[in-house]
Structure 1
Amino acid sequence: MRLKLGRPDLADYSAYFDLGAAAQTERAGGSSLGVTFMGVSTLLIDDGQSAVLTDGFFTRPSLGKVLLGRIAPDEQVIDACLARCGAGHLQVEAVLPVHSHYDHGLDSAVVARRLGSALVGGGSTAQLGMGAGLPDAQIVIASEGASQEFGPWRITLIEADHCPPDRYPGEITSAVRPPVRTSAYRCGEAWSILLQHASGATALIQGSAGFVPSALSGQSAQVAYLGVGQLGLMETDYIESYWEETVVRVSAERVILIHWDDFFKPLPMPGEGSLRALPYAGDDLDVTMSVFARLAQRDGVRLSFPKLWERHNPWQGG
């Protein structure tokens, strides 16, 4: 089979970047929920005062370093990104890596330390926290399916899976102290994150395009953030099953796509350019969108892409 060169053009999907901005004045007054997308599966979900953060992945080492070198959190980049999204002005209750691969967990412990947040996940994520010197009190090992309260947020972690192939499968069994080879960041536990705010707003965050059949049965979420990395290389049956086991299972009314950007490139700040889709060699977003657009129309679900750095409220109509 001939290798497909280039990458999808996000301009082809401009109509899907339709999430209205949530006013920063509403955040300042603590009167509105909002979500800020910062590449891959990193989402800051806040109510103006309290927040939770998925992943917190900002360093984004180059492909060459990932394949041949050693990787470590870039604390200068992390600080700049946390300042840009306003996390320092919020009580960030928890940092939640969706699994422990480097493109989710590399920076998570440093971010938790900076913000004074709990680092929440499985045993593999705990090893990231221990390697970063987090106090035991900030490392929370979740029980699968059990809800935990963090301020106004109820968080439930449900067993999920990584989209095939998982290049670094298995558990992390000892503390990770960067710089290390990329392979040190084993997948560990993969999660479907169910989030409920005290206001009643609910969301599913599926950071990787993998699933465990029926794992989300009986759960509900108004909004689903779906990771789509590698999904476009899968067969149509798999893509359809992924939609069924996430969007349909939880009766989501809106789907927002994440983990579609080329994370071997630095995260651009405002005025420095925009995100690009992963190259066809690593994913095919065009395939994913052709299937998802059809399923969204069939099910009456709104399908969107988030804008980088722009705080949006997916629970609002319009």
Structure 2
Amino acid sequence: MRIRFGRPGIDRYAGLFDVPVATGGVGVTFLGVSGLLFDDGTDAVMIDGYFSRLSLARIGLGRIAPDRRRIEAGLARLALGDRLRAVAAVHSHFDHVLDAPTVALRTGAVLVGGESTAHVGRGGGLTEDRIRVAGDGETIGYGSFALTFVASAHCPPDRYPGSITAPVRPPVRAAAYRCGEAWSILVGHRDGRTALVQGSAGFVPGALDGRRAETVYLGVGGLGVLPETYIRDYWTHTVTAVGARRVVLTHWDDFFRPLDRPLRALPYAGDDLDVTLRVLTEVAGRDGVALHLPTLWRRSS
């Protein structure tokens, strides 16, 4: 099979970066990869949040650890104060959970996710009272927000499969961050707003049936190199299942590039955003669903 070099350009999709700026109430800030901050000015919850953005060479050849300088810079930009209540992880790969214990320690938040994520927290210095292991179908309240965890699956192929069975104490190889439990996370707010965070482009058929969310933050990393039938099934078992009328795409950006540089798409070697957007634009138009790309650091409605 011939390797395709380069990456899709995102300038051609400029019209999709049109999620309105939040002017009050709940705002959602895109942090790169599948990172999202839900914030109403009093309470906040973070899903993932990968600020370290380590280089491909570091990931592939060395041992990795959170980059505290980059984490501090990201948190300073968000100006969270003491209102971050929880940091949740959709699964336990490094680009989702590496920074989570440091963020929790820095802000006073609780780390919540599966047992594998809990082991990352233990290795990162969190005590048991700062770790919450979620169960399938469980709803946990954090201030004005409620997080519901629904068992899901990682997008194929899973490069680091399996569970984490002991505390992970960095620096370690990237492979130490095995996937563990994968989740669909439903985020509800006391004002009635609802969202689904599908951080990995995997799904369990029927798992979200009967759930409802107005907006889906749909992870698409790796989706563009999978069969079109898979892409359509993914849409059906996430967006269609919850009756969403709006979709914001996440996990399309090159997470080996630091956040102080403009975002760019993942290379063709691992993904094809052009294919993903062609198929999803078609199904979104068919279903009358608005499709968007998020803007980094923008607090959006």
TM-score range normalised by the length of the shorter chain:
over 0.9
Matched, 1:33 2:26: yes
User: Which residue of 50, 72, 78 maps to 1:79?
Assistant: 72
Percent identical residues:
55
1:48–1:90 contact (8 Å) kept in structure 2? no
User: Which residue of 194, 199, 202 maps to 1:207?
Assistant: 199
2:208–2:242 contact (8 Å) kept in structure 1? yes
User: Which residue of 224, 228, 235 maps to 1:236?
Assistant: 228
User: Which residue of 255, 258, 263 maps to 1:266?
Assistant: 258
Task: Give the aligned residue type for 1:307.
Answer: T
| Structure 1 unaligned blocks of 5 or more | 27-31, 314-318
Task: Give the aligned residue type for 2:118.
Answer: A
1:51–1:90 contact (8 Å) kept in structure 2? no
User: Which residue of 110, 125, 148 maps to 2:117?
Assistant: 125
SS of the equivalent of 1:113 reads helix
Matched, 1:3 2:30: no
Q: Which residue of 2 aligns with 1:144?
A: 136
| Cα separation, 1, equivalents of 2:274 and 2:171 | 35
Q: Which residue of 1 aligns with 2:239?
A: 247
Q: Which residue of 1 aligns with 2:298?
A: 310
| Cα separation, 1, equivalents of 2:49 and 2:271 | 22
Matched, 1:256 2:251: no
2:152–2:183 contact (8 Å) kept in structure 1? yes
User: Which residue of 154, 177, 180 maps to 1:185?
Assistant: 177
SS of the equivalent of 2:70 reads helix
SS of the equivalent of 1:248 reads helix
Task: Give the aligned residue type for 2:14.
Answer: S
SS of the equivalent of 1:66 reads helix
Cα offsets for 1:24-54 (capped at 9, x unmatched): xx4xxxxx11011010011011111101001
Q: Which residue of 1 aligns with 2:281?
A: 293
Using the TM superposition, give the Cα deviation of residue 282 of structure 1 relative to its aligned residue in structure 2, in angstroms: 0.9
Using the TM superposition, give the Cα deviation of residue 2 of structure 1 relative to its aligned residue in structure 2, in angstroms: 2.1
Task: Give the aligned residue type for 2:117.
Answer: T
| Cα separation, 1, equivalents of 2:38 and 2:2 | 42
Using the TM superposition, give the Cα deviation of residue 90 of structure 1 relative to its aligned residue in structure 2, in angstroms: 4.8
| Cα separation, 2, equivalents of 1:267 and 1:274 | 7
| Cα separation, 2, equivalents of 1:114 and 1:237 | 43
Q: Which runs of 4+ in 1 moved over 6 A?
A: none
Using the TM superposition, give the Cα deviation of residue 14 of structure 1 relative to its aligned residue in structure 2, in angstroms: 0.6
| Cα separation, 2, equivalents of 1:104 and 1:146 | 21
| Structure 2 unaligned blocks of 5 or more | none
| Cα separation, 2, equivalents of 1:36 and 1:239 | 26
| Cα separation, 2, equivalents of 1:231 and 1:53 | 24
Q: Which residue of 2 aligns with 1:277?
A: 265
SS of the equivalent of 1:283 reads coil
Q: How does 1:167-178 map to 2 (within 5 A)?
A: 167-178=159-170
| Cα separation, 2, equivalents of 1:3 and 1:51 | 43
Name whichever of 117-126 and 146-155 sits farther off. Answer: 146-155
| Cα separation, 1, equivalents of 2:2 and 2:275 | 17
Please report the TM-score for the alignment, with normalisation by the length of structure 1.
Answer: 0.93
Using the TM superposition, give the Cα deviation of residue 85 of structure 1 relative to its aligned residue in structure 2, in angstroms: 1.5
1:233–1:283 contact (8 Å) kept in structure 2? yes
SS of the equivalent of 1:247 reads helix
Using the TM superposition, give the Cα deviation of residue 112 of structure 1 relative to its aligned residue in structure 2, in angstroms: 0.7
| Cα separation, 2, equivalents of 1:306 and 1:209 | 17
| Cα separation, 2, equivalents of 1:81 and 1:133 | 20
2:155–2:222 contact (8 Å) kept in structure 1? yes
Please report the TM-score for the alignment, with normalisation by the length of structure 2.
Answer: 0.99
Q: Which residue of 2 aligns with 1:29?
A: none
